[in-house]
Amino acid sequence: MSAGASALEAAVERVLWDEAAIRRRVRELGAQISRDYQDLLGDALVENPPLAVGIFRGAIVFLADLMRAMPIPLECDYVQLYSYGKGSEAGEIQLLRDLGTPAQGRHILLVEDIVDTGQTLHFLCEHLEARGAASLKICALIDKKPRRRAKIPLDYVGFVLEEDAFVVGYGLDYAERYRNLPYVAVLKPEAIAS
Ligand code: IMP
């Protein structure tokens, strides 16, 4: 292993979901979501394909894989949010980048990396509903349950995290690092600055 790779992985305490587990689950989710949109929209799927909206940056990897697991007409876009919290602390939310596509009349699939308190999705659902989305579904890679404050209906969940752990990898960061790990892992406590 190169010095760079070992420096990246040295901060990892344990892997929660490895590459194979993620690949398998993303394929299952893609197939399920595609079937559900086919049932919901029928032939209208061709005229008005669902719009997969990634919440960047965390969902960047998940969105790319999920889209390729959905064999139906599909468009994609992204929004980017800024949370006034540093590192592992959540805070106030601001929209840095809105959709490039009008939401009016669209069937939107929000693609999120991890749901923690639920504030981010609460904010975005209100935002998109106010812009006249025809339907709104949520797909989260990880449902981290312990700190949930906003009641958010998650239509599709990749994995459930029952412990209040801060996880990284597969797009998820700690202070902008570790997004490029191909698995989801818990960091060593000493890698998380207090
Ligand atoms: P929420 O608004 O509290 O649900 O937080 C959601 C956002 O916080 C996610 O989109 C992530 O960007 C970030 N987040 C929450 N928990 C974690 C974690 O364990 N690792 C990395 N990012 C996290």
Domain ranges of the chain: 3-191
**Is the CB of 167 within 6 Å of ligand 1?**
yes
Provide the CATH number for the domain formed by 3-191 in this structure: 3.40.50.2020
pLDDT tens for the 194 residues of the chain, in order:
566 667 788 999 999 999 999 999 999 999 999 999 999 999 999 999 999 999 999 999 999 999 999 999 999 999 999 876 655 555 688 899 999 999 999 999 999 999 999 999 999 999 999 999 999 999 999 999 999 999 999 999 999 999 999 999 999 999 999 999 999 999 998 888 75
Give, for ligand 1, the residue of 93, 111, 113, 161 to mutate: max count of ligand atoms closer than 8 Å to Cβ: 113
d(CA 28, CA 140): 13
Q: Is residue 140 within 8 Å of residue 151, measured between CB atoms? A: no
State how far the alpha carbon of 29 is from the alpha carbons of 67, 138, 157, in Å: 10, 12, 8
**Is the CB of 143 within 6 Å of ligand 1?**
no
